[in-house]
A and B are shown apart, each in its own frame.
Chain A
């Protein structure tokens, strides 16, 4: 029977191998053939993008997942946006924004004559409404963003009918926010009202937040799945569960109506299915994983783009691990950094399409500065020397003994099914053996990994990654206070210099980019020396789109920032 199955499988595989990769169909469609063969942009056509699931909501206040934000981002914008290349905050619906000298007042001036897609004027009142809705929502996770605004707590708890620290004046053209204490990431965080700004006129019909009733909220209403108006390039048209969300061009978009008629977000089971759809031409553009780069790059009808990303992978070392007390020792952690060949890992996993990282701030950030950082070049002898300096003694079985006599054996865990992390684990197991440390690999579900590495003492090493926002504020990851259940300092890192620099970066009082960059560099230098993680690499973003699609210019912080200018060339 086994042979039969083998024969059957081989027959199918031969069929697979024999068939070539034909040119993709153009079901994602452009304008009619006669439209233009020149470089003059022509209107029309449909873009199809892939998503790995339905939007759970189309309303940013209660949104917690990327599938949802991938939909509402086309309707609900912020007063500011992140520059697609540099990550710096730049004006969007606001013309300008300024922070007072004492850092306690933030003032936005709204662009004149802005209109929602339904014709209603856009004013600062829309921002004010959205923040009030966040304050009373039971399902939002964005309250902490606004907690320093004067009068926030009183309003949230029903002691006031509005937030006193927010003032809208000048016919809705000026917005002033007063803070109880300086919060440097405020300019970036406030602009979007914790996501995107809602059309207050339409939402007032389903929820009025200006009262002291803390029971009512915006969490459950029909508009959450049917956005009534848009400030973005597209308006909501139709949602077919499990199949797709269809958007249409917003003719009132303030940067100019898009040239594309329709934007469809089609739902696929996973990233592989989206890659397949990209190859066959069903999807117009998508990002792909490094392992698929070669295959997709060979498709004639696609063009590729590559950019740095604000993500990185690492091996975390729990300084409070009950079964591996040596992880509290800096020299041991430095030995672990010297003892793994990150270059070889990068070649194997991302085929060199990435950047090695030596500390927390990711390469594309404006705060990135690798000067003075140790590169920890793979060096077995140096690793062993550090272990011995730390007090470890080599045992007869080739495994070091720690100062208490116990063999230096420990577990490294990661989530099953993530090929990159599984490969890192294999490397770690082999290469740490060479420096006299025995690794027991553990593959588990992602759920179990999250659960087990919630700050505690029952885990030693773990492989996972960070995907970071544009504004660098790593307080929740590295501050020594953030080690409770549900918090993110799960390696129990504690360094008073870093603690102070994290607060300086966050609460100023000097919030200038220069001051923050200096504070962040101090943090990176300390992390680079203390190596609470073995920092590995940041994979490049690999973006492919149909060759017909023009003006595509994806980068780190946005791949679609100029979508209104995209058009199909025949």
Chain B
């Protein structure tokens, strides 16, 4: 197992390098430099002052030199200073990371807690009204764009009806992590973030269960007098879950990319919102650090998925 993990981590290095290079180039090659954006429309700032700032922020260096400098810094685990915040980019990221993890992990739990039972119901009640209802929900959940859905949720449940807060993590004046206030603030973003996963899971699971349920070992289990619940839980579900675990990779990817928009819509102070704002204002070091951290997290979550895969299906050996 140790060798497997080490090998996978080594394999991840070229992927990571590719991501770094593309991020670096895309952020540099899009129009306008950060200083121009920073001082947009400020007619009181002279060219000399602008030039000095460009120099101080290292933006006058040639691109290959900037990339080399960044690689050298990264090798020393230094993500550079934010151009806007005048602070280490890593500090900014680490401040926000726990908030993002809280949101994504909770969304994952909710996805599984709702998605798996829906899949089981859809399969066991095949062709009946429950199955149709779940299918309609699945298709709708897939088709609705997350940002639009998020805005509608804010408009309907927060602005018009005040059932949910406008956004953020706590009401002004309260400051707690495990409390009703935090749960109240989590409902909106977790719901919207998990809706895609909840729509995906039942479809995969239904197909798998229907395939597994006609297998000989399931008939054997039934014929030896096991109760239906036990048959489903022990024999059907465990085997049907294997492709579901595979689909977690995609779901996690949706969480990471989705949180960029959802955190903004729900004003959640996480990594996604920070990266989004940094991308808009061209705060290169923060964008780059955000992408590196997200990529590393994604690679680690894929690794966890593969380990879980082996755990769910002992026939698969980790080599």
Given A141-B53, A276-B166, A450-B40: A4 and B136 within 8 A (CB)?
yes
Whether A4 and B139, one on each chain, are in contact in the complex, defined by CB atoms closer than 8 angstroms, is yes
Residues of B within 8 Å of A219, CB to CB, are 56, 86
Q: Does A5 contact B (CB under 8 A)?
A: yes
Residues of A within 8 Å of B139, CB to CB, are 1, 4
Among A72-80, A107-115, A239-247, the stretch in contact with B: A239-247
Q: Does B101 contact A (CB under 8 A)?
A: no
Among B110-118, B151-159, B216-224, B245-253, the stretch in contact with A: B151-159
Q: Does B37 contact A (CB under 8 A)?
A: yes
Whether A282 and B172, one on each chain, are in contact in the complex, defined by CB atoms closer than 8 angstroms, is yes
Beta-carbon contacts under 8 Å, B173-226 to A: 173
Whether B162 and A25, one on each chain, are in contact in the complex, defined by CB atoms closer than 8 angstroms, is yes
Whether B39 and A64, one on each chain, are in contact in the complex, defined by CB atoms closer than 8 angstroms, is yes
Whether B46 and A144, one on each chain, are in contact in the complex, defined by CB atoms closer than 8 angstroms, is yes
Q: Does A171 contact B (CB under 8 A)?
A: no
Nearest CB to that of A12 among chain B residues?
A: B152
Q: Does A303 contact B (CB under 8 A)?
A: no
Q: Does A551 contact B (CB under 8 A)?
A: no
Residues of A within 8 Å of B31, CB to CB, are 445, 447-448, 450-452
Q: Does A139 contact B (CB under 8 A)?
A: yes
Given A142-B49, A143-B48, A219-B86: A273 and B167 within 8 A (CB)?
yes
Residues of A within 8 Å of B136, CB to CB, are 4
Beta-carbon contacts under 8 Å, A465-501 to B: 465-469, 473-474, 476-477, 484-488
The interface on chain A, measured as residues whose beta carbon lies within 8 A of the other chain's beta carbons, has a size of: 77
Whether A242 and B270, one on each chain, are in contact in the complex, defined by CB atoms closer than 8 angstroms, is yes
Q: Does B265 contact A (CB under 8 A)?
A: yes
Residues of B within 8 Å of A4, CB to CB, are 136, 139-140, 143
Instruction: Give the shortest distance, in Å, between B250 (CB) and chain A (any CB).
Output: 20
Q: Does B36 contact A (CB under 8 A)?
A: yes
The interface on chain B, measured as residues whose beta carbon lies within 8 A of the other chain's beta carbons, has a size of: 66
Among B11-19, B69-77, B91-99, B299-307, the stretch in contact with A: B91-99
Residues of B within 8 Å of A29, CB to CB, are 173
Instruction: Give the shortest distance, in Å, between A464 (CB) and chain B (any CB).
Output: 8
Whether B47 and A53, one on each chain, are in contact in the complex, defined by CB atoms closer than 8 angstroms, is no
Instruction: Give the shortest distance, in Å, between B84 (CB) and chain A (any CB).
Output: 4
Q: Does A280 contact B (CB under 8 A)?
A: yes
Assembly CA distance A27 to B82 (angstroms): 34
Q: Does B234 contact A (CB under 8 A)?
A: no
Instruction: Give the shortest distance, in Å, between A3 (CB) and chain B (any CB).
Output: 10
Q: Does A264 contact B (CB under 8 A)?
A: yes
Assembly CA distance A494 to B23 (angstroms): 42
Given A242-B269, A269-B265: A143 and B49 within 8 A (CB)?
yes
Whether B156 and A447, one on each chain, are in contact in the complex, defined by CB atoms closer than 8 angstroms, is no
Whether B43 and A488, one on each chain, are in contact in the complex, defined by CB atoms closer than 8 angstroms, is yes
Q: Does B241 contact A (CB under 8 A)?
A: no
Instruction: Give the shortest distance, in Å, between A214 (CB) and chain B (any CB).
Output: 12
Choose one: A64, A243, A484; the contact of B169 (CB below 8 Å): A243
Instruction: Give the shortest distance, in Å, between A503 (CB) and chain B (any CB).
Output: 16
Q: Does A277 contact B (CB under 8 A)?
A: yes
Nearest CB to that of A22 among chain B residues?
A: B162
Beta-carbon contacts under 8 Å, A20-43 to B: 20-22, 25, 27-29
Residues of A within 8 Å of B53, CB to CB, are 64, 138-141
Choose one: B30, B38, B173; the contact of A65 (CB below 8 Å): B38
Residues of B within 8 Å of A451, CB to CB, are 31-32, 36
Q: Does B50 contact A (CB under 8 A)?
A: yes
Beta-carbon contacts under 8 Å, A128-156 to B: 138-145
Choose one: B50, B51, B144, B270; the contact of A8 (CB below 8 Å): B144
Whether A46 and B269, one on each chain, are in contact in the complex, defined by CB atoms closer than 8 angstroms, is no
Q: Does B87 contact A (CB under 8 A)?
A: yes
Residues of A within 8 Å of B165, CB to CB, are 282
Whether B43 and A466, one on each chain, are in contact in the complex, defined by CB atoms closer than 8 angstroms, is yes
Residues of A within 8 Å of B92, CB to CB, are 241
CB 8 Å contact bits of A75-95 with B (1 = contact, 0 = none): 000000000000000000000
Instruction: Give the shortest distance, in Å, between B227 (CB) and chain A (any CB).
Output: 37
Q: Does B57 contact A (CB under 8 A)?
A: yes
Whether A446 and B264, one on each chain, are in contact in the complex, defined by CB atoms closer than 8 angstroms, is no
Whether A243 and B84, one on each chain, are in contact in the complex, defined by CB atoms closer than 8 angstroms, is no
Q: Does B294 contact A (CB under 8 A)?
A: no
Choose one: B156, B168, B277; the contact of A12 (CB below 8 Å): B156
Instruction: Give the shortest distance, in Å, between B282 (CB) and chain A (any CB).
Output: 7
Beta-carbon contacts under 8 Å, A213-266 to B: 219-220, 224-225, 240-244, 264, 266
Q: Does A512 contact B (CB under 8 A)?
A: no
Assembly CA distance A279 to B31 (angstroms): 37
Residues of B within 8 Å of A267, CB to CB, are 168, 267, 269
Q: Does A48 contact B (CB under 8 A)?
A: yes
Residues of A within 8 Å of B159, CB to CB, are 276, 279-280
CB 8 Å contact bits of B262-289 with A (1 = contact, 0 = none): 0011010110011001000010000000
Beta-carbon contacts under 8 Å, A168-195 to B: none
Whether A27 and B172, one on each chain, are in contact in the complex, defined by CB atoms closer than 8 angstroms, is yes
Whether A276 and B277, one on each chain, are in contact in the complex, defined by CB atoms closer than 8 angstroms, is no
Assembly CA distance A279 to B159 (angstroms): 7
Residues of A within 8 Å of B277, CB to CB, are 53
Residues of A within 8 Å of B87, CB to CB, are 225
Residues of B within 8 Å of A484, CB to CB, are 47
Beta-carbon contacts under 8 Å, B1-54 to A: 30-32, 36-53
Whether B44 and A1, one on each chain, are in contact in the complex, defined by CB atoms closer than 8 angstroms, is no
Whether B85 and A57, one on each chain, are in contact in the complex, defined by CB atoms closer than 8 angstroms, is yes
Choose one: B56, B96, B140, B158; the contact of A242 (CB below 8 Å): B96
**When A and B form their complex, which 6 residue pairs have the shortest distance between CB atoms, in order from nearest?**
A242-B269, A447-B32, A138-B56, A451-B31, A19-B160, A144-B46
Residues of B at the A interface (CB closer than 8 Å) are: 30-32, 36-53, 55-57, 81-82, 84-87, 92, 95-96, 99, 136, 139-140, 143-144, 152, 154-156, 158-162, 165-173, 264-265, 267, 269-270, 273-274, 277, 282
17 CB contacts below 8 A, A to B, read: A1-B139, A4-B139, A8-B144, A12-B152, A12-B156, A56-B84, A219-B86, A225-B87, A244-B172, A264-B172, A268-B166, A280-B158, A446-B32, A468-B43, A485-B47, A486-B36, A486-B51
A-B contact sample (19 more), CB < 8 A, given A54-B85, A450-B31 = A1-B139, A5-B144, A9-B152, A19-B161, A21-B160, A27-B172, A56-B84, A64-B39, A139-B57, A141-B53, A142-B49, A219-B56, A241-B95, A242-B274, A243-B170, A243-B269, A447-B32, A466-B41, A485-B47
